[in-house]
A and B are shown apart, each in its own frame.
Chain A
Amino acid sequence: MRPFRISVKCRRSVLLSASLIASVFLACEASPARAGGTLRIAMTAADVPTTTGMPNNGFEGMRFLGYPIFEGLILWDLTRSDVPAGLRPGLAEKWVQDKADPTRWTFTLRRGVKFHDGSDFNADAVVWNLERFFNPQAKQFETQGAGISRARNPWLKAWRKIDDFTVEMSTNRPVSYFPYVVVYLLIASPAQFDKTGSWAEVAKAPAGTGPFKITEVKPRVSVELSRNAAYWDRTKIAKLDKIVLFPMPESTTRLAALRSGQVDWIEVPPPDAVPSLKQAGFEIVTGVYPHVWPWVFNMARPDSPWRDVKVRQAANYCVDRDGLVKLLNGLAYPSVGFFPKTNPAFGKPKNVYAFDPAKARALLKEAGFHPDRPVKAKIMISTSGSGQMLPLPMNEFLQQSMRPCGFDITFEVVEWGAMLVALRNPPTAQQSLNSDAMNISLVSSDASRMAGLFLGSSLPPNGTNWGNWKNETFDGAFARIERSSDPREIDEQLRRAHEQLVDDPPWLWIVHDGNPRAMTKHVKGFANAQSWFQDLTLIDMN
């Protein structure tokens, strides 16, 4: 019998095949392929947002120094760009509203989660953070963070630990949309505070549970985030190695930084620069998100022209929204309601506002106004401010385009801080400077926002229904929303409530900001969620 022999050629083939198979196997076993890299972002903030776990500088602070590093029991679902961002489990695996007592909510916490400093996340950490924001007597009470948290969550009344992984929260009345405010309560590591004893020290080396951790803070200059390779959600390990954030309040400076290659991504490019940026190969990313830029009508004054719904509807038919969007080079979208028209909660209002001066004049005539007796109104506007876009040219455009309809508009130009003071006081108070309306941009994400802005019980100083708008149908729909636990009923009532906001408009609906950003072509994977916040774990720099 001839001995079995393998030819050299055959041996080589076998070895080659084995090598290939081994390579494939090793590739599968290795960490997921990651492009990595460092993403440099220029923010509009004038200063580095605070890094204690409840950032200031509004939602831009939350976007970059909130959710990427610190998480809440509930998180925003930022995976889709075709629908408004909803909620998903975060540090809580689930939450349940007590059917017998709808003011009580029980949160089942996620196990096995660690803070960036290695300490354990559990119910004690949750309670500690709630005390930090809501208990002025607690040693960890953080005044600045408390102001921000309590503004966003006016309904939390009490909380308690049930066991190491269960926490119960109670509200001061049944509010079905309570999860939409829990999402803003971020959890920071108590161990860091215990180690340092002061929030100023914690700010230098804070610890959250998020997909990024803060690795360097240079006050007023930059903050560096690094990938958290031990993040609890293995499907959302960040692709980037680092993110460096720069505060750059001046738009021309941001533009120059992008054009000269110092940064890869800028927030809010100047509208005038959009054509040249596109020509130079940069990407301009815009999208629908829950921001609205309106005039808030003051209906408190007895002689206010806005007390007649026909005048408010006429004003809404008198806005050249497309012209304004063109002025902004496409960085905004027309607004004809609190929600964008694409939002399922928009409903089917009777009025579909479009630029129709003839209809506006007809409505004004019915209200007793005519060319010799135009509607005179003084609008409080600011020179700048969070989310205010370009208030001066935009309002001047409105002033000019509304004049032919029969509106004689003048302005009271104030500084942003003065406007915020006016917003928190009744519209007849001295702080409002006898203004007939206020141009202030506001968040329009969900029912919790609507409650604070439009309910009859939300008049200042108890809420921000500054214009003193009252609508029984709206209040009735909202009462049902708050008490219901049936998602279909809630959606139906939300649509009903929104239809009232359109047909009996408390505001002049003008535009929604387009959430514009400009970035280099190297920034890949960005999915523009319909949210004030974005998922930075998807991005890589190729």
Chain B
Amino acid sequence: MWAYTLRRLLYGVPILLGVSIIVFALVQMAPGDAASLLIPPEASKEVADQIRAKLGLDKPVYVQYVLWLGRLVRGDLGASTVTNMPVAGELFNALGNTLMLAIPAAIVGFTLGVCLGALAAFNRGRILDRVFSATAITGVSLPHYWVGIVLVVVFAVVLNAVPAQGMGPAGFPHTWAQFRHMILPVITLSLIPMGVVSRLVRANVLEILSQEFVGSLRAKGLLKQQVLRHVLKNAAPSVLALMGLQFGYLLGGSILVETVFNWPGSGGLLNLAIFRRDIPVLSGTIVAIATIFVLINIAVDVLQALIDPRIRR
């Protein structure tokens, strides 16, 4: 198991290298650079070129990339071209803020998804199946930023029950004042994972319920809950893989939800960096998110192997 895990970790290195090269190249393809966006429209090209040179943006792209990679290897993510602030600080703040929403959204979304999917499968063809399936499809289909806006209008503007935007008091959330700010964005973010997981769980459970061993379990006299436990355990590996991917997406931050709720997460940071052509922030954020994706997938693979020993073989 350790050798398997180590091998997967080593595979992550060329993946991250490839991701960083692609990001660097893609940003270069967009017109303009940080210097163009930094200075006012009335600036002449001469001023823009001077600032570009001072920021090191006049060097060939491959030289800029190698310099950046050299700093990354030493643990230095550099400084934002636009604000001069260390990228590491901005990035970890943003990731922390995204985690504050991603973890509860994942818990809510995955729990509801598993419950709705399992209940729908066990009540196949009945009204409950239709209701739970419709709920799941609605969660996946509705644009979540639109849902967010509607929730804000109803609960913040009309009812004034929760704040419309922002994170509230700083720090690790442990007060009601902080939790209040999280309610609407967490609900909004949990919709898609809920819908996607629910659909997969329903399909898997239905498939497993049709297998012979389930009949044997019933014939042995197991209670419904005990049969459910066996069924869910068999459905778990593929559902876990999906949850891993969904959690990765949540950690990448939803720019749309973060914009609606003015939440300073990693999605917003990425979006800002793209529009500003702030390459140090952009590259650092992408590599960080890619690393998280890789680690999550490794964790999911390990978990799957623990649940289902057949996978190890």
Whether B44 is near chain A, meaning CB under 8 Å from some CB there, is: yes
A248 CB-CB contact with B under 8 Å: yes
Contact B79 A417 (CB under 8 A): no
What per-residue 1/0 map shows which CB atoms of B64-88 lie under 8 Å from chain A? 0000000000000001001111100
Report chain A residues within 8 Å CB of B149.
Answer: 252, 256
Q: Kindly identify which residue among B38, B86, B156, B275 contacts A147, using a CB–CB cutoff of 8 Å.
A: B38
Q: How far is the CB of A282 from chain B (nearest CB, A)?
A: 12
Given A260-B157, A260-B163, A449-B51 contact (CB < 8 Å): no
Residues of chain B within 8 A of A449, CB atoms compared: 42
Chain B residues within an 8 Å CB radius of A219: 83, 85, 89-90, 93, 264
B39–A220 touching, CB < 8 Å: no
8 A Cβ contacts from B82-111 to A: 82-86, 89-90, 93-94
Of A47, A203, A256, A443, which contacts B153 at CB under 8 A?
A256
Q: Are A200 and B38 in contact (CB under 8 A)?
A: no
Q: Report Cα–Cα, A136/B54, bound state, in Å.
A: 8
In the complex, whether B23 has a CB less than 8 A from a CB of chain A is no
Whether the Cβ atoms of B269 and A418 lie closer than 8 Å is: no
Cα(A223)–Cα(B307), bound, Å: 49
Cβ-based interface call for A368 (8 A): no
Q: Does A464 have its Cβ within 8 Å of any Cβ on chain B?
A: yes
Residue in chain A with minimal CB distance to B45: A461
Chain A residues with CB under 8 Å of B55's CB are 143
Which of B35, B51, B79 lies at the interface centre, i.e. has the most chain A CB atoms within 10 A of its CB? B51
The contact size tier of chain A is 35 or more
> Complex formed: what's the CA distance from A150 to B84 in Å?
18
A63 at the interface (CB under 8 A from B): no
Contact check, B260 vs A252: say whether CB atoms are below 8 A apart: yes
Is A259 a contact partner of B164 (Cβ separation < 8 A)? yes
Question: In whole angstroms, how far apart are the Cα atoms of A198 and B156 in the complex?
Answer: 41
Q: A203-B85, A420-B32 are in contact. List 19 more A-B contacts (CB 8 A).
A: A52-B84, A144-B84, A200-B79, A203-B83, A219-B83, A248-B165, A248-B262, A252-B149, A253-B152, A259-B164, A260-B157, A415-B30, A416-B275, A417-B276, A418-B30, A421-B36, A423-B41, A424-B45, A460-B45
Q: Which residues of A contact B (CB under 8 A)?
A: 46-47, 50, 52, 56, 58, 136, 141-144, 146-148, 150-152, 154, 198-200, 203, 218-221, 246-250, 252-253, 256-257, 259-262, 386, 414-418, 420-425, 431, 440, 442-443, 449, 452-453, 460-464
B binding-site residues for A, Cβ under 8 Å:
30-32, 35-48, 50-51, 54-55, 79, 82-86, 89-90, 93-94, 149, 152-153, 156-157, 160, 163-167, 170, 259-262, 264, 268-269, 272, 275-277
**Sample of 7 A–B contacts (CB below 8 Å):** A147-B35, A248-B165, A252-B149, A253-B152, A256-B149, A415-B31, A461-B46
The 6 closest A-B pairs by CB, nearest first: A461-B45, A151-B43, A220-B264, A256-B164, A147-B39, A418-B31
